[in-house]
Amino acid sequence: MNIAGIKFKNNLFLAPMVDVTNSAYRRICKRQGAGVVFSEMIHVEELVNGFNKKNKKLLSKLKFDKEEKPIGIQITARTLKSLELAVPILKKLGFDFVDLNCGCPSLRAIDNGSGSYLLKTPEKIGRMVEILKKAGLIVSVKIRLGYKKNEVLKIAKIIEDAGADFITVHARLANQAYNVSADWNEIKKVKQKLKIPVIGNGDVLTPEDAKAFFKETNADGVMIARAAIGDPTIFSRTLKYLKTGKEQKFDFEKNINSFLEYLEFEEKNDGELKRVKRFGSKFIKNIEGSAKLRDEFMRLKNFNEIKKFVRGLIKFI
């Protein structure tokens, strides 16, 4: 898969997720076959202020390993001016492309006037794309179908006309939660209208879902979010299923081994133990007594205890 001169290994995208897709997790997803990864979402005001002050938390978000490439930095912005101030920094960070988030539905983003709030002003999104493109950056944009009403075709066309290199469409409105099914037919409509590559997102939870998604939408790629939390093997299983059509069962041992790799990366990079435990509990599933095991896991006190505990999980298969 080639977009704007960037060669992607395949068209399976790991969605950028706050407090999930740090460098350690991106690396194990890459090793399991994810073709494209992103930084966690960063507000451009945080980027400018934190970068100039060498803020440790921000610099951690900006860190990536060469095996993660190609990699995008996902940003969001409230104003054109704040975005312009971020451009010189974006140009020097070494990411392969910039992904403009106009789809995050969190109250924090909306109250700030960024994320999915930008869907209210599609022309502003277009201006943001123009600013990034004028700076010579490769640009993608992640959107939803609209803020409270479906305007996805209008918004997507403005983004394309502004010069974006590709677009990702999450097939829900900004005010819709997971209890509302993603409308893949809207992704199909965007794909039919646009000339730039279209990536789809929403309700792809299994390899079988991915195959059905491609068949229904004809999209250029699929972005996987929830299904990848605690299961990086979703990528290797999906790739194999798309190639062979044969059922790919969840492999608990393979997934636990990926978690051990994750622990190694986190320990080497002084990862926060609280985050590692909160996230690691997501790996303990699909085995008998998983609830009790998660409780035990959350009481562990250091990396050595965690590694010993995780290695012992294989006996539960």
- Report, as residue numbers or ranges, the catalytic residues: 104
- For residue 75, the surrounding DSSP H or E stretch is strand 71-76
Q: How many residues does the chain have?
A: 317
Whole-angstrom distance, CA of residue 7 vs CA of residue 47 = 27
Whole-angstrom distance, CA of residue 125 vs CA of residue 159 = 7
**Residues facing residue 111 across a β-bridge:** none
Whole-angstrom distance, CA of residue 220 vs CA of residue 250 = 26
- Burial of 235-255, coded b for 16+ CB within 10 Å and e otherwise, reads bbbbbebbeeeeebeebbeeb
Whole-angstrom distance, CA of residue 9 vs CA of residue 116 = 29
Output the six-digit token pair for 158: 């403005």
Query: Which are the contacts of 203, defined by CB distance < 8 A and separation ≥ 6?
Result: 171, 181, 182, 184, 209
For residue 19, the SS3 value is coil
**2 secondary structure, DSSP code:** E
Whole-angstrom distance, CA of residue 79 vs CA of residue 83 = 6
**Residues facing residue 169 across a β-bridge:** 143, 200
